[in-house]
Amino acid sequence: MTSLALKSLWARKVRALTTTFAVVIGVAFMAGSYVLTDTIFAAFDDPDAAISCACAIQASLQRQQAEHGYAPSVRIGVHADEVTDRGGDLAGRGVHLAARVMAAAEGGEVLVTSSTLGEASGSFEIAEEREIDAKGVGAPLSVARIGWARAA
């Protein structure tokens, strides 16, 4: 009886993880490019699409949690900047800054640099503004936490 319950619980967790992974990868494919390492990196043509996608990912994970009782806690950072395409591998200061913004986010957060919000034409709810110390960047970086529950 205990063995059966553990197998059922394990199967449920595996289903939840694979569903979550499929959603995140699907969104990344829609972006046109992705890099899969210890993070998932997606490049967009405009900041509105990037912020909307980030909100959709968090909303999808929230639904996953509500329906299946488990979803990974995901941190998302968004920064718009020029990048260098090295045969499908994106590099440069923009990639570095986006990674630093993501690292400063908490699980379930969407953090966007203020400069990126300034370039966005959409109206996104700003839940909180703050400055972060980003490694490799001389001055503090101004970011905003997006209220994604209403934006998704």
Mean pLDDT of 107-131: 89
Dihedral of CA 56/96/31/71: which sign? negative
Residue among 122, 108, 123, 117 at smallest CA distance from 144: 117
Mean pLDDT of the chain: 78
CATH of domain 2-151: 3.30.70.1230
For residue range 56-92, list pLDDT tens digits in order.
Answer: 889 988 888 888 888 888 888 999 888 888 887 778 8
Residue among 143, 136, 145 at smallest CA distance from 113: 143
State the amino acid at position 99 in one-letter form. Answer: A
Mutual orientation of helices 2-31 and 47-68 as an angle, nearest 10°? Answer: 170
Residue 114 has what pLDDT?
92
Residue 35 has what pLDDT?
47
Residue 139 has what pLDDT?
84
- Whether the CB-CB separation of 80 and 112 falls below 8 Å is answered with no
In terms of residues, how long is the chain?
152
